[in-house]
Amino acid sequence: MTRYVFITGGVVSSLGKGIAAASLASLFKLRGYKVSLQKLDPYINLDPGTMSPFQHGEVFVTDDGAETDLDLGHYERFVGIKTNQDSNVTAGRIYSNVINKERKGDYLGSTVQVIPHITDEIKRLIIKGANKSDIAFVEVGGTVGDIESLPFLEAIRQLNLELGESKSIFIHLTLLPKIDVTNEIKTKPTQHSVKELRSIGIQPDLLLCRGKSDLNQELKNKIALFTNVSKNAVFSAKDTDSIYNIPLNFREQRIDDYIINNFKIKPKKINLKPWKELQSKIKGRKKQIDIVMIGKYIDLVDSYKSLNEAVFHAGVCNDKIVKVNYIDSETITKGNTKCLNKMNGIIVPGGFGHRGIEGKILAAEFARVNNIPYFGICLGMQISVIEFARNCINLSKANSTEFHKNTPNPVIALVTEWKNYKGKKIKADQVNYGGTMRLGAQTCNLSQNSLAFKMYNKKTITERHRHRYEVNKNYINKFKGSELIFTGISKKDNLMEIVEIKNHPWYLGCQFHPEFTSSPVKGHPLFNGFIKASINNKI
Ligand code: GLN
């Protein structure tokens, strides 16, 4: 029978609940238990797909095409599992399901209410998300005390009661601020946060205390006394220079043992080798290289979470510290590409909307002309095609219809705009804005002898997508015989997936998002190759 670990957060947001959940889950996975992870998000959006990355960070995409919270990226990277549509549940999804059932007449005669209808639906989706795993980690988004979180907290309170003794555990991640002037660690916010939880019927079993340093036993005793949590169940979640140290930090404190005892399950032997090896590889990295990321959402690094992680992983795999320099694409102009001069490699990441596009096109040109390794991801690939069309094959007005609806040279366009390509129309759902993209894992065939083939060392790959626009197939012939080649084609519908520039040290654009599947242990073939080429690009 599945055991549930419910993780809530208190005092402030962004304490790292997702990473804490992922780190704990990883310790159980490394003991051979089947684990699952799920994030409950209290906002009303059906999914984060339509939210600005400025507000909520990156939208993470699963194999089955769910647009989800970025915490799912941590789950996949730390635990090495694949999340899916059931792994991220929002209040919007819950309410939408309940309202649909109400319209169908499923609740005929009753008044539909938060308790029991909403909470029942939450519990149903928690159990579905657990997918018969041994241990299901369920992270409740938001901060205890928020109005929005209440139905979720009520649902996990009920579930804990219904499951019975030793079947679930409540973990509360809280903040212990330090007052620098007096050098004092303050416990009051934690006391209040737990009080708030207890007032809605949840007594945490275990506290993870985020702070600048480890807690001594005296402090643990004090927190235990005021929160009614066992002294042995107050643990430190100390700040660390790499998130990948956290599983080992938790293991050193035997947090996993405490949970296993609580669940009254037989402990299995743990294999910490992968984390230990990674830790020493991270520590052993030498010399730094500089990569530039030409983005739009550069003020919030969470907007490019998976991308940053993938670059970091590739650095680890290549024994190098990779510094990512963020440049706002709007600051790059014809007369001002100086900032790109000192960079070992250039990344143009994914993005939406016309703002900053011309700067990205200039960066792609700079990389092509100056033989600087270039990695264009999704929008970054479309930028490569536009740049090349404008500057190398006389399509001076080339653009994407996303940025110029009536461009005379729509080298990038919606499939529905290609109009009768070879007599066929490929359908795309154009009714709603949310959920109308090419999403999730799709298969792509690589040309032999291409850079892509060299990187992956296989003919067929599967990568995740999240975009609306495609290379316009009506223009493919115009590129024939030029330096720009299409070396990856989707199995379904033969869409252009990868472009390369011949006779360039490393220039590749891909229509998919390889960053979503990069792992800290192995990296990702394209990122590893790009970073390697950037290291070789001596400046
Ligand atoms: N805006 C582009 C599209 O919709 C690229 C999207 C992306 O980079 N994820 O096709």
Give me the CATH number covering residue 18.
3.40.50.300
Whether residue 58 contacts residue 156, with contact meaning beta carbons closer than 8 Å, is answered with no
- How far apart (Å, rounded) are the C-alpha atoms in residues 464 and 84? 12
Task: Quick: pLDDT tens for 346-381.
Answer: 999 999 988 899 999 999 999 999 999 999 999 999
Instruction: Count each helix (H run) and each strand (E run) in the chain, helices first.
Output: 17, 23
Same domain as 292, residue 268: no
Residue having the nearest C-alpha atom to atom 8 of ligand 1:
350
State the amino acid at position 357 in one-letter form.
I
Query: Which of 382, 400, 414, 417 has most ligand 1 atoms within 8 Å of its beta carbon, as the pocket-test mutant?
Result: 382
What's the rounded Cα separation, in Å, for the pair 259 and 394? Answer: 65
User: Would you state the pLDDT for residue 206?
Assistant: 98
Q: In whole angstroms, give the CA distance from residue 181 to residue 166.
A: 43
Q: Is 515 a catalytic residue?
A: yes
Ligand 1 touching residue 57 (CB < 6 A):
no
Question: Is 465 in contact with 61 (CB distance < 8 Å)?
Answer: yes
Is residue 179 domain-shared with residue 248, that is, in the same domain?
yes
Cα–Cα distance, 39 to 129 (Å, whole number): 9
Look up the pTM and report it.
0.93
**Residue 431 — very low, low, confident or very high, per pLDDT cuts 50/70/90?**
very low
Is residue 378 part of the annotated active site? The answer reads yes
161 plus 52 within the same structural domain: yes
Catalytic residue among 209, 317, 378, 510: 378
Position 105, amino acid: G
CATH number at residue 514: 3.40.50.880
504 is known as an active-site residue: no
Half-sphere exposure of 361 (CA within 13 A, CB side): 21
493 secondary structure, DSSP code: T
Confirm or reject: Cβ of 351 under 6 Å from ligand 1: yes
What confidence tens digit (pLDDT) does each residue in 215-253 have? Answer: 999 999 999 999 999 999 999 999 999 999 999 999 999
Q: Which domain holds residue 63?
A: 3-278
Residues 139 and 174 in one domain: yes
**Spatial CB neighbours of 366, under 8 Å, sequence gap ≥ 6:** 337, 340, 346, 372
In terms of domains, do 273 and 298 share one? no
- Report, as an integer, the average pLDDT of 29-39: 97
Q: Which amino acid is at 137?
A: F
The token pair that represents 160 in the structure block: 């804990």
Residues 447, 317: one domain?
A: yes
- CA–CA distance from 181 to each of 196, 326, 532 (Å)? 29, 34, 46
* Cα 348 from Cα 527, distance rounded (Å): 13
Q: What is the pLDDT of residues 440-454, one digit of tens each?
A: 999 999 999 999 999
Residue 209 and residue 122 share a domain: yes
Query: Cβ contacts of residue 149 below 8 Å, gap of 6+?
Result: 8, 42, 140, 141, 142, 143
Please pick, among 121, 497, 500, 515, the residue that the annotation labels catalytic: 515
Verify that 299 and 265 share a domain, yes or no: no
Count of domains observed in the chain: 2
Q: Which of 523, 529, 139 is nearest to 306 (CA)?
A: 523
Pair 138, 36: CB distance under 8 Å: no
